[in-house]
Amino acid sequence: MVAFICAMLTSQHLSAADRLPRLDAKDLVPITHGPNWVDLDGDGRKDLVVKSRWEINGPHSASVYSIQRHLGSNDPFRYEGPDWHLVPFIDGRRDQPHGFESIVTHEGADCILRDLRLFTHGKAPKTETLAVIAERETGEGFGDERPFTFRVFKWLRAKDVGDDEVQNFVGIAFRLVGEVRSKKAYCGANEAFRGEFGVSNPDTSDDRR
């Protein structure tokens, strides 16, 4: 799945619309508010995805996604510390070399302008896990329709991207592997994911666009 996506993202012979990754709905991790226990790296241990509500008593409250990895006794990054490690998101920004610790949605009363979907496929050692963040500009308001940008992050070890695992590195992270724009304009991320990839919102209690 990831090899296909990366080939689509890097091809110079296709338009942006044709280079959209074809994410399979059956690989979607059904994240809802609260703790979500799922094996994201195929090691047989349940990792933890927490989706919490950041309530500000208004239409622009948000949800926050945080992902924790459950380490085994022989994990190369366990050292003497605890068995749980945060999995950050690294997108190459120089002012955040170690990434950012969570993804925060951007929401209005009718439309969600930023949201995340997780996909995982296969068994270890060939497990492939992707995080896709959909986001659009506010434009003339939260009810506006604009193209969405989909940023594709892959679960990767530092050495897989050429980082020296000696000092000042992040062991496991979601690392940005590409981004594409939607074919059409949408108001909200839910309809953008559905319209471009056929992926529904796993949180069925939220009927916003």
pLDDT in tens, 147-190: 999 999 999 988 888 777 666 678 899 999 999 999 999 999 99
E-assigned strand segments in 25-77: 34-38, 47-54, 62-70
Q: What is the pTM of this model?
A: 0.85
Q: How far apart are CA 42 and CA 37, in angstroms?
A: 13
Write out pLDDT tens, residues 41-55: 999 999 999 999 999
For 77, how many CA atoms within 13 A lie in the half-sphere containing its CB? 19
Would you say 168 and 174 are in contact if contact means Cβ atoms under 8 Å apart? no
Q: What is the predicted pLDDT for the residue at 116?
A: 97
- Which strands form 146-157's sheet, in the order they lie side by side? 89-90, 172-186, 146-157, 128-135, 112-121, 106-107
pLDDT digits (tens, 9 = 90+) for 78-96: 777 789 999 999 998 888 8
User: β-pairing, 172-186 with 89-90?
Assistant: parallel
- Check pLDDT > 60 for residue 14: no
Cβ pair 180, 37 in contact under 8 A:
no
Please give the DSSP secondary-structure letter assigned to residue 140.
Answer: T
